[in-house]
Homo-oligomer: A and B are copies of this chain.
Amino acid sequence: MGENLNCVLLISGGLDSTTLLHYLVKKKPYKKVYGITFLYGQKHSREIEYAKWQMDLLGMKHHYIVDLSGIAPLLREGSVLIKGSKDIPHLDTIPIAERIQPPTYVPNRNMIFLSLASAWAESLEISDVFYSAQAQDEYGYWDCTESFVARMNQVFSLNRKHRITVHAPFLNMLKKEILELGYQLGVDYGHTWSCYRGEEKACGNCPTCIERLKAFEDIGQKDPLPYMEKIK
């Protein structure tokens, strides 16, 4: 815990960060949660509306949406999530050897986001920054691991006036466990978005849709989000 009772949270509007938002607001002794969301040239920004909706629902007034769409050209060659890049693949089509860093990986994304969130925290004299990396991200994303968080905190410990600590409390939780927690907290998952494609309904077959649907199935719940009738 920091020197005051506020914290900064990376909130995308997805399932994990929305659950973490509810957890921080309802369970932890933070007075205010400052939400930060990034536009970085991703193919759609549907989830951002949901991030806003959830922040509003909880009466959290400080939500900063940072427009980084100017960085898209830096990332386009490195990720299928960026506008103008290749199509998003079905999970089954990604060779096993590629999955340690799949095409849906965005180069250095979490360091970019955490560096900006931490700068904001430092300006506001907040010490605690949260993001919702979880155990099922570990397979393919080096920036969603315990080592990553520990080493980032080693960097931040050099700050001479205001040391930031990054927290990722879901690091050892599976998505279904996060979902169970969210149901206990009363999260409305009809106002979250995971699908990498940003169409009217979720596609049901991109890697994140598959993971999401499986988590709902595992805990015996029905995802309240509409899915395309005939899954592509």
Binding site for B on A (CB under 8 A): 64, 66-68, 70-71, 73-79, 100-101, 106-109, 111-112, 115-116, 118-120, 122-124, 142-143, 145, 147-148, 151-152, 154-155, 158-162, 164
Given contacts A66-B71, A115-B108, A158-B142, contact A76 B123 (CB under 8 A): yes
Do B155 and A71 touch across chains, with their CB atoms under 8 A apart?
no
- Considering only CB atoms, which chain B residue lies closest to A8 in the complex? B74
**Minimum Cβ distance to chain B for residue A35 (Å):** 13
A32, B126: Cα distance in complex, Å: 41
**Minimum Cβ distance to chain B for residue A127 (Å):** 13
A147, B151: Cα distance in complex, Å: 12
A143, B118: Cα distance in complex, Å: 14
Do B107 and A112 touch across chains, with their CB atoms under 8 A apart?
no
Do A151 and B158 touch across chains, with their CB atoms under 8 A apart?
yes
Given contacts A70-B66, A142-B158, contact A112 B115 (CB under 8 A): yes
Do A78 and B119 touch across chains, with their CB atoms under 8 A apart?
yes
